[in-house]
């Protein structure tokens, strides 16, 4: 997330390394040791090992495999949140450079947002006040849209990548807010909530936009259409781009017209999850083991999680009983 966010704004004239009081993650470590990439990869393994069994354990008896995958959606949102939060501690100067110059106390915001992401992500993974953390995360992303993404779109309206980043953040926010809305009284009694309806429309629009991106640029890595290209060693690379576009546009239409919304979101969430395994992970291995490479599968995993969270909020067909 950090590597791509740097495209959204113009950095200020001064060097943020002058005002960042060292890398907090390395203060007490020997000079030859580095938490990057050890800490992010260790976080991924540990949180998935904790969160996925805990999520599946809440599934009612005799539910389908798809229903169990839906329950894993919040974990696919929470775990990347923790890793992105760690980046604020591992790369404070780089993160600080992304903050608009008119906002004061950059160092304070870098560590505050990082801490909030870590605590919120852990809350979602271990299912303690998960609804509150998801709701706050969704609101925080909307603030980022207003402060950075939308101004960047206005400043450079012909930049395809900035549009993709903006739509991506909207999808993350919508999925998190849909998950949070499942704990409201209207959803518990009627199976619906206005916020979930908004989230469904937002993600539907995002999918249509992403589908068009893949139709015009099928060489892009399946998942979230940013700047990464499908590795050359993957056969029929362009074909996968077109296939991703078809999957996105079909699911997007279903969400917009509210027909088979749960089924469409579920299968698309699974499809995006497969792109993480089949395309994004090989891309990460090809590009290296640092945080920048890890961000690619984590971004796409969070996109899958957001879609699955939306699927879990839909009561078009049989719904899951939360434990």
Domain extent listing, the chain: 2-313
Average pLDDT over every residue of 12-37:
50
The beta strands (E) that lie in the chain are given as: none
Structure confidence at residue 98 as a pLDDT band (50, 70, 90): confident
Q: What percent of the residues of the chain are helix, what percent strand, and what percent coil, each to the nearest 5?
A: 70, 0, 30
CB 304 within 8 A of CB 89: no
Decide if pLDDT at 162 tops 80.
yes
Decide if pLDDT at 310 tops 80.
yes
Instruction: Supply the pLDDT for residue 323.
Output: 37
Instruction: Supply the pLDDT for residue 36.
Output: 66
Task: Give the span between the Cα atoms of 287 and 127, in whole angstroms.
Answer: 34
Choose the weakest-confidence range: 2-6, 88-92, 214-218, 314-318: 2-6
Choose the weakest-confidence range: 161-165, 265-269, 312-316: 312-316
Q: How far is CA 116 from CA 49, 54, 108, 133, in A?
A: 22, 22, 12, 9
Instruction: Supply the pLDDT for residue 104.
Output: 87
Decide if pLDDT at 294 tops 60.
yes
Decide if pLDDT at 9 tops 90.
no
User: pTM here?
Assistant: 0.88
Instruction: Supply the pLDDT for residue 189.
Output: 81
Instruction: Supply the pLDDT for residue 183.
Output: 92
Nearest of 244, 255, 199, 182 to residue 218 by alpha carbon:
244
Structure confidence at residue 59 as a pLDDT band (50, 70, 90): confident
Decide if pLDDT at 277 tops 70.
yes
Across all residues in the chain, what is the average pLDDT? Answer: 87
* Tokens read off for 101: 């110059």
Structure confidence at residue 92 as a pLDDT band (50, 70, 90): confident
List of residues 6+ apart from 168 with CB closer than 8 A: 206, 224, 226, 299, 303
List of residues 6+ apart from 291 with CB closer than 8 A: 2, 36, 37, 40, 87, 90, 91
CB 192 within 8 A of CB 201: no
């Amino acid at each position: 997330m950090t590597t791509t966010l740097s495209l959204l704004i113009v950095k200020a004239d001064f060097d943020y390394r002058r005002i960042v009081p060292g890398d907090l993650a390395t203060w007490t470590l020997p000079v030859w040791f580095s938490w990057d990439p050890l800490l992010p990869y260790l976080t991924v393994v540990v949180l998935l090992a904790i969160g996925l069994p805990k999520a599946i354990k809440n599934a009612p008896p005799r539910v389908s495999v798809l229903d169990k995958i839906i329950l894993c959606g919040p974990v696919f949102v929470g775990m990347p949140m923790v890793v992105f939060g760690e980046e604020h501690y591992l790369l404070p100067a780089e993160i600080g450079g992304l903050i608009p110059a008119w906002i004061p106390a950059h160092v304070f915001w870098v560590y505050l947002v990082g801490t909030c992401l870590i605590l919120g992500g852990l809350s979602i993974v271990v299912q303690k006040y998960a609804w509150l953390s998801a709701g706050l995360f969704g609101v925080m992303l909307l603030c980022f849209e207003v402060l950075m993404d939308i101004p960047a779109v206005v400043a450079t309206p012909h930049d395809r990548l900035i549009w993709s980043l903006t739509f991506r953040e909207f999808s993350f926010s919508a999925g998190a807010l849909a998950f949070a809305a499942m704990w409201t009284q209207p959803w518990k009694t009627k199976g619906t909530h206005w916020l979930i309806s908004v989230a469904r429309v937002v993600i539907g629009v995002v999918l249509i936009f992403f589908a068009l991106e893949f139709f015009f640029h099928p060489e892009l890595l399946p998942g979230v259409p940013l700047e990464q290209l499908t590795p050359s060693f993957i056969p029929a690379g362009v074909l996968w781009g077109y296939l991703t576009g078809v999957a996105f546009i079909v699911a997007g239409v279903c969400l917009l017209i509210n027909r088979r919304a749960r089924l469409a979101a579920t299968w698309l969430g699974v499809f995006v999850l497969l792109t993480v395994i089949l395309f994004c992970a090989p891309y990460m291995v090809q590009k290296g083991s640092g945080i920048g490479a890890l961000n690619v599968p984590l971004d796409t995993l969070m996109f899958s999680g957001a879609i699955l969270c939306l699927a879990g909020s839909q009561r078009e067909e049989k719904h899951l009983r939360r434990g």
